[in-house]
Amino acid sequence: MNESTPSPEPTPRQGMDYSEIADVQEVHAAVQREKREPRVGHEPLSIWLIAIYGLAVFFGGAYIGRYSGNFSGEALDPYGGEMPTMKKAGGPQGAQAVAELSPFDRGKKVFSANCQTCHQANGLGVPGQYPPLAGSEFTTGGSQRMGMIVLKGLQGPVTVKGQQFGTAVMQPWDKTLTDKQIADVMTYERGDWGNSASPVTPEQIAALRKALADHPNSFSAPEVLSAPDEDIPGGAPPAGGGASPKPGEAANPGAPSKPQG
């Protein structure tokens, strides 16, 4: 027995069937209507806000261009001129005076680089370890004892300002520093922290270095104290050049010459 199979009913379509619409304009209009609606936060900027941003960028660039000083080294100079430290004194002698430091200032640099770790920046040293230089009898006395310590070093017990230092060790500087550096640092130490001893010249250190050439080891405190408490002989030559007088001439031009015969 043949039974006819019922045909399935057509399923309704979702949306619009564009194939059934002949008019192209109606198709496009339908597509535009089905587009996603714009969300909050994607609105175009206001024309006034764009104008404000543009003015801010313009005036900011103009301000930087006017007050940046072309990014040069003189940009921070309020007077727009040469820095005071760069101004040179008139004449060659003035220029040399500006460029060259005093022995005291040079000695302070040598002290900071080599001596400050032990004796401290205030010259008081470290109690029980490193003797002080401020008010020390070795620093404020004659320069000979101090020069012996600086050139050849010091080891063993020593008493400074009534305080005992049982294991004081001072390294020798004769092979590390020049005569000028040693003279400068001694001049600084003898003139700072309330000290007011005489300065030291490179010629004095050169003379003392020559006198101690046969002493390879460091000194002990008794050896230093056995030396006279006086300045190192052999200072700077006389200002007139120190030329020796010729035979037949008097050593002092102002003194009468001895009679010949």
DSSP conformational letter for 18: G
- For the beta carbon of residue 16, count every other beta carbon within 10 angstroms: 14
Gap between the Cα atoms of 12 and 124, Å rounded:
104
DSSP conformational letter for 1: -
Name which residue leads in pLDDT, 30 or 184: 184
Query: What are the pLDDT digits (tens) for 63-114?
Result: 777 665 555 555 444 444 444 444 445 555 555 544 588 999 999 999 999 9
Gap between the Cα atoms of 249 and 225, Å rounded:
43
User: Is the separation of the CB atoms in 153 and 166 below 8 Å?
Assistant: no
State the DSSP H helix or E strand holding residue 157, giving kind and residue range, or none if neither.
strand 154-160
Q: For residue 156, is pLDDT > 90? A: no
User: In the numeric block, which tokens belong to residue 137?
Assistant: 């009898």
User: Is the separation of the CB atoms in 125 and 158 below 8 Å?
Assistant: no
User: Is the separation of the CB atoms in 144 and 230 below 8 Å?
Assistant: yes
Full-model pTM? 0.54
Gap between the Cα atoms of 178 and 18, Å rounded:
103
First and final C-alpha spacing in the chain: 181
| Cα angle for residues 28, 32, 38 (degrees, 5° grid) | 165
Gap between the Cα atoms of 166 and 191, Å rounded:
27
Please state the rounded mean pLDDT for residues 158-169: 83
User: In the numeric block, which tokens belong to residue 213?
Assistant: 């050439």
Gap between the Cα atoms of 183 and 143, Å rounded:
10
What backbone phi and psi angles, to 5 degrees, belong to 69?
A: 65, 25
b (16+ CB within 10 A) / e for 69-79: eeeeeeeeeee
Name which residue leads in pLDDT, 136 or 36: 136
Q: For residue 150, is pLDDT > 80? A: yes
Gap between the Cα atoms of 128 and 131, Å rounded:
8
Q: Domains in the chain and their CATH numbers?
A: 101-226 (1.10.760.10)
Among candidate residues 107, 103, 128, 108, the one with its CA nearest the CA of residue 118: 128
Gap between the Cα atoms of 250 and 50, Å rounded:
98
**What local confidence, expressed as pLDDT, does residue 39 receive?**
62
**What local confidence, expressed as pLDDT, does residue 251 receive?**
38
pLDDT-derived band at 165, boundaries 50, 70, 90: confident
